Structure 1
């Protein structure tokens, strides 16, 4: 059983300096490294670096996953865009941790498969699928954080030694708007963290509609013009010197808040308990199962009606069907043999419905005798149960 590990880092705010590149190159001789990216795959051995320190010092995003079920996504963004206190309510052991370092908030999303789980040799992710989450968080969209909390609850439900009172006393964090309609990166994060989709549906019942993320350029221009001159001068100076985070995300977040709000949660909303959410998820799952069974039953009925209609048409001219079978066999092609066998099986059912199975048996016997020198056809007939009765 071969091990597989994937490591990827990305610098977004600024590229690495020459000295920093040399530092990173010292960690791996096989990685693909540039001033903004680090990518490496391990089929044996381990990464020699410290992911936490690299994120604190150099990079803004990190992705890791292994085929034994370990998954990790780390994001770094300025505390001016997302204060640590905003992320605190969503932190949960083994799902989301957060800390600050030198004016940045670091978020560590993680998932660890239970011991004994099946190894995953097919799943593949790249960091590009997740980096937009950083901009969403910077704009005040806290849905990624709530998804991490749901991931923790999904795993918590599977534990066997949890007191029922804990489920009742544990309350959910503030529910952000838009849970019913996640962005693409948010849905990828939910899949990455194995969030129970039924639990997500239940949680979304208390989530309002997310405001549009479309930018009204004219409104943005008017808003920027109204900013105090000294503030605009300060923003431009910081951008030119690179002494502060890129101002774009913060400005857009402020503009969205003023114009049509963000996906941030409502402080007035009631916080549901973990027990309530899990019970609601069970109801969603039960209803989903019922709908699936109903849909399958409808499909079976439709298929049966189509089958009956086909047999009715075939029964109207069985002689033509026998002629078609003879024509197909006469071509001496394996694919057409299969078509002939299918038609014979249909004819058998037609004769059974009409109460004339003896006639079918007689004609099948004659057909087998006539073509007994065709071993490929004989084998197909036998495999299909088309033998003398």
Structure 2
């Protein structure tokens, strides 16, 4: 299989100018470039530009996926929407990083899994993840906590210093970890967050505040009237200057206040979370194995009890005169043989099988399959 790298960038706050698009074209002659996006796939070679610099100067979101296991999401937000001091507690090694430019905060979240399965032709797109940017901008820190959990799992695999796990503190725990949004669930999947680790972490998370219904004109009118005149003028100026995707979000956030999930101080260490998730995973697997074992024990008895129905189904498969139907008949016969043996009725099965072979001796395809599986 050839090398595969997928790059996608999106501009959300404003469209790219013609000059900016030309600057990006100098980086790649093959990329698909529009006023709001830059996408390219590489099977040989690589992007000549620096994704960090490109995101800092032109874009608000960047996705990078490779067939050797790298998943990376980079987001750019206004400094006032997500201050650096708020993001820093969730940063861990190179897996979660945050830095600022003069006007923005940049957040980079990376997951590496060289041994993971690669699905060629998978739908690699920012579309399912882009919603976390608005969630972060409105104070919902669940995406940051998910990125920290992803980094914690990778850190465990890379490091063998247990002392670090005991001294590494848990960052603030957002409410609603047990009820993720669609975008957050997609992010958890993209960053390969361990489900047991997330379940353990969610035990310290309170319920997220319920979102109210779409506001009515009657509800919004007094809220708008109460805005200071200077603030109204600033909002109208932003509207007059051109399309601005975040304008409505900012206005609604201002009118209705911050309804994003709150956080509580993290009280657990990385070691506590990893140990608890290991215990949960082990217990879950043991329960699943007990269920499977019980099902295996019940299956022969149930199949032997319904033997006549099974024989009728076998005969129907044979009557179809198709190779796939013969295979289904043989599979069911094999299971039925084991069921008869389980109930100590081997003689009954052999007698019935002998009649079946005699009735179908002119079907060489079926007889060959029966012989091959020891059904004589």
**TM-score range relative to shorter protein:** 0.7 to 0.9
Aligned residue pair count: 371
Change (3 A) 1:221 1:206: farther
Q: Say if 1:353 and 1:73 are closer, same or farther in 2 by CA, change over 3 A.
A: closer
Residue 350 of structure 1 deviates from its aligned partner by 5.1
Give the secondary-structure state (helix, strand or coil) at the position aligned to 1:110. strand
Q: Report how far residue 172 of structure 1 moved.
A: 0.7
CA shift for structure 1 position 272: 1.0
* Match status 1:57 vs 2:57: yes
Q: Is the 8 A contact 1:314 1:347 kept in 2?
A: no
Select between 342-351 and 8-17 the one with higher mean Cα deviation. Answer: 342-351
Name the counterpart of 1:210.
208
Quote the residue 1:318 is aligned against.
none
Q: Distance in 2 between matches of 1:349 and 1:170?
A: 55
Q: Distance in 2 between matches of 1:193 and 1:35?
A: 28
Equivalent residue number for residue 143 of structure 1: 142
Query: Residues 305 and 250 (structure 1 numbering): CA distance in 2 closer, same or farther, change over 3 Å?
Result: farther
Q: CA RMSD in A?
A: 3.2
* Counterpart for residue 170 of structure 1: 168
What are the Cα deviations for residues 227-285 of structure 1, in whole angstroms up to 9, with x where unaligned?
11221112221332369984333333344545xx321313xx45211111112212221
Is 1:77 the equivalent of 2:77? yes
Specify the alignment match of 2:155 in structure 1: 156
Does 1:289 find its partner at 2:288? Answer: no
In 2, Cα distance between equivalents of 1:129 and 1:58: 21
Whole-angstrom distance in 1 between the partners of 2:261 and 2:66: 32
Give the equivalent residue in structure 1 for 2:24: 24
For residues 240 and 296 of structure 2, what CA distance do their matches in structure 1 show?
67
1:89 aligns with 2:85: no
1:276 matched to 2:275? The reply is no
Compare 227-236 and 291-300 and name the one that shifted more.
Answer: 291-300
Name the structure 2 match of 1:310: 306
Deviation at 1:363, TM superposition (A): 6.8
2:186 maps to 1:197: no
Distance 1:52 1:149 in 2: 20
Q: After TM superposition, give the deviation of residue 367 of structure 1 in Å.
A: 6.0
Distance 2:100 2:341 in 1: 79
**What is the match of residue 132 of structure 1?**
131
Q: Deviations over 1:78-128 (max 9, x none)?
A: 1122222211111111221111223111111112335xx356244542011
Q: Deviations over 1:299-329 (max 9, x none)?
A: 4355345313212x569xxxxx69x95x986
Do the aligned partners of residues 90 and 368 (structure 1) sit closer, same or farther apart at CA in structure 2, a change above 3 Å counting? closer
Equivalent residue for 2:229?
229
Structure 2 unaligned runs (5+)?
Answer: none
Partner Cα separation in structure 1 for residue 108 and residue 3 of structure 2: 23
- Residues 155-181 of structure 1: CA deviation (Å, up to 9, x unaligned): 12223431x222111111100111111
Aligned mates of 1:240, 1:8 — CA distance in 2: 30
Distance in 1 of aligned mates of 2:282 and 2:186: 25
Q: Which residue of 2 aligns with 1:384?
A: 373
Return the offset for 1:331: 7.5
SS in 2 for 1:26: helix
Q: Distance in 2 between matches of 1:201 and 1:285?
A: 10
Question: Are the aligned partners of 1:138 and 1:250 in contact in 2 as well (CA < 8 Å)?
Answer: no
Q: Distance in 2 between matches of 1:148 and 1:337?
A: 51
- CA, structure 1 residues 146+384, in 2 after alignment: closer, same or farther (shift >3 Å)? same
The answer as to whether partners of 2:170 and 2:266 remain within 8 angstroms in 1 is no
Change (3 A) 1:254 1:279: farther
Contact 1:138 1:253 (C-alpha < 8 Å) held by counterparts: no
Alignment of 1:88-127 (within 5 A): 88-113=88-113, 117=115, 120-122=118-120, 123-127=122-126
The change in CA–CA distance for 1:221 and 1:108 in structure 2 (over 3 A counts) is farther
Give 1:39 shift.
1.0
Report deviation, 1:41: 0.4
